[in-house]
């Protein structure tokens, strides 16, 4: 199973993107998206922003669960109070794990924002952030 995570800034710009594979069920953590899917991933996620922008006003929680689907892929969303959208493209529904995953990614994101040299909407280029997100992926996904 493969996951595609995108953190979307306030101007529809990705500030962080990652493709991950699962370690469960004998997975090796390597994403196995087809070439076609790889190209489509950003578009699917981008299209889901529409839904997120609608759904986020209907819920009090930051985690919006699966908001959209496309060809059997689900898109789960998490919106930070600063309106940064975390979108995860996944194949099976697993609300609880994804919720934990998002919460922990949010922790990481908040730490990034605390950095005085980081501006909102800047791409996150920290290798540590990347590593930690991948570790969270390994832990929860």
- Which residues of this protein are in contact with another protein, per CB under 8 A? 9-15, 34, 36-37, 39, 42-44, 46-51, 54-55, 58-60, 64-73, 91, 93, 95, 119-123
Of 46 and 111, the one with the shorter C-beta distance to another protein is 46
Residue 124 beta carbon to another protein: minimum distance, rounded to whole angstroms: 12
Residue 120 beta carbon to another protein: minimum distance, rounded to whole angstroms: 5
Residue 107 beta carbon to another protein: minimum distance, rounded to whole angstroms: 22
- Cα Rg of the chain, angstroms: 14
Query: Residues 31, 20: contact at Cβ < 8 Å?
Result: yes
Helix (H) or strand (E) holding 75: strand 73-79
Residue 78 beta carbon to another protein: minimum distance, rounded to whole angstroms: 12
The angle subtended at Cα 29 by Cα 35 and Cα 34, nearest 5°, is 10
- The phi, psi pair for 77, rounded to 5°, reads -130, 155
Of 12 and 107, the one with the shorter C-beta distance to another protein is 12
Select from 49, 47, 1, 8 the least CA-distant residue to 24: 1
Of 15 and 88, the one with the shorter C-beta distance to another protein is 15
Of 62 and 132, the one with the shorter C-beta distance to another protein is 62
Query: Residues 136, 104: contact at Cβ < 8 Å?
Result: yes
């Amino acid at each position: 199973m493969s996951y595609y995570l995108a953190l979307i800034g306030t101007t529809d710009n990705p500030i962080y993107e990652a493709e991950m594979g699962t370690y469960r069920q004998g997975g090796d953590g390597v994403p196995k998206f087809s070439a076609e899917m790889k190209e489509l991933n950003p578009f699917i996620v981008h299209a889901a922003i529409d839904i997120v922008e609608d759904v986020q006003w209907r819920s009090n929680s930051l985690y919006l669960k699966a908001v959209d689907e496309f060809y059997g892929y689900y898109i789960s969303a998490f919106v930070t109070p600063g309106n940064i959208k975390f979108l995860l493209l996944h194949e099976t529904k697993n609300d609880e794990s994804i919720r934990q995953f998002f919460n922990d990614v949010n922790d990481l994101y908040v730490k990034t924002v605390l950095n005085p040299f980081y501006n909102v909407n800047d791409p996150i280029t920290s290798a540590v952030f990347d590593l930690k997100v991948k570790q969270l992926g390994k832990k929860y996904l």
